Amino acid sequence: MRWVHIDNVDAKKTAIFEGARKAWLGAIRSEHGALGDGRPLFWESRGTATNTYFTLYPFRAWADLDARRAMVAATETAVGDAAVKQYDTGDAALVSPHYSQIWRRASDYDIASDAVAGLTELTGTVGRIEVHIEDITRDEEFDKAWKSMKDALVAKRYPLACRVYTSVFGEGEIMLLWIASDAGVYRGAPSLKSALAAQLGAKKSAEIIEALRKIFPLRKAYEVERRPDLSNLGY
């Protein structure tokens, strides 16, 4: 599972938010070694007015979240109030909403040919996060359409990998992370419609796309890039 925190930041104040984060990383790395702060992996989506930052923290059992809180508290104690207060200055850049979710991996639905089998949230560099809602009354139809798409894309050796997550609470949203090894591969990847049509033909492709559009509507999409400079993986 993943604890995921979403920060929305005023695009005009990005330097404030990122500056506070980088100063914090400097404090916990240079002064006290590589301390954990519970926010190991950052992905960012840049918008016109708002930038969105996704922080992913992997865990196996619910008790691990208690351990995460204890780790954060210990780090804050180690670095001292001044560093914590400096980090908190980044909050001045936040805009509503900012919140946390729990995402559960749904790896059975992943789409990744052998060419991109190694791409994950840790190794991909750019991609797209799509937020969907499934009509659960049509679960069998969804599974059939998804399997047809998955089989076709794997056979076509589609250059992006799709990693799938479900939201544990709330409305049961399903998140797709389409990821590429680099920006050139991402920009050069054919659309799903084109890739499916090349493998299955235009008619069958259109049927699959239309079925998923109705059963599995898209709520929101974010073009994203991994931000190793804001991440804290080395502890």
For the chain, the residue count is 235
Do 199 and 218 share a domain, yes or no? yes
The residue type found at 101 is Q
| Whole-number pLDDT of residue 235 | 57
Beta-carbon neighbour count of residue 49 at 10 Å? 9
| Whole-number pLDDT of residue 220 | 95
Do 148 and 90 share a domain, yes or no? no
| Whole-number pLDDT of residue 79 | 92
| Whole-number pLDDT of residue 149 | 97
Do 92 and 201 share a domain, yes or no? no
List beta partners, residue 90: none
The tally of domains found in the chain comes to 2
Report residue 228 CA to chain centroid gap.
Answer: 14
Instruction: Name the 3-class secondary structure at 205.
Output: helix
Question: Residues in the chain with pLDDT < 50?
Answer: none
Instruction: Name the 3-class secondary structure at 216.
Output: coil
Q: Tell me which residue of 168, 139, 135, 161 sits closest to 2, measured CA to CA.
A: 168
Of 55, 72, 101, the position where a domain reaches its end is 101
Instruction: Tell me the CATH number at 56.
Output: 3.30.70
Do 111 and 90 share a domain, yes or no? no
Q: Is residue 161 situated within a structural domain?
A: yes
Q: Is residue 233 situated within a structural domain?
A: no
CB 181 within 8 A of CB 120: no
Of 101, 124, 146, the position where a domain reaches its end is 101
| Whole-number pLDDT of residue 34 | 79
Of 73, 101, 129, the position where a domain reaches its end is 101
| C-alpha–C-alpha distance, residues 35 and 51, integer Å | 27
Structural domain span for residue 68? 2-101
Do 110 and 220 share a domain, yes or no? yes
Do 111 and 34 share a domain, yes or no? no
Instruction: Name the 3-class secondary structure at 63.
Output: helix
Do 111 and 41 share a domain, yes or no? no
| C-alpha–C-alpha distance, residues 191 and 200, integer Å | 14
Instruction: Name the 3-class secondary structure at 189.
Output: coil
| Whole-number pLDDT of residue 170 | 76
Do 129 and 199 share a domain, yes or no? yes
Do 215 and 128 share a domain, yes or no? yes
Do 154 and 220 share a domain, yes or no? yes
Instruction: Tell me the CATH number at 190.
Output: 3.30.70.100
Threshold 0.85, pTM exceeds? yes
Do 50 and 111 share a domain, yes or no? no
Q: Is residue 229 situated within a structural domain?
A: no
Q: Is residue 134 situated within a structural domain?
A: yes
pLDDT tens by residue, 90-131: 999 999 999 999 999 999 999 999 999 999 999 999 999 999
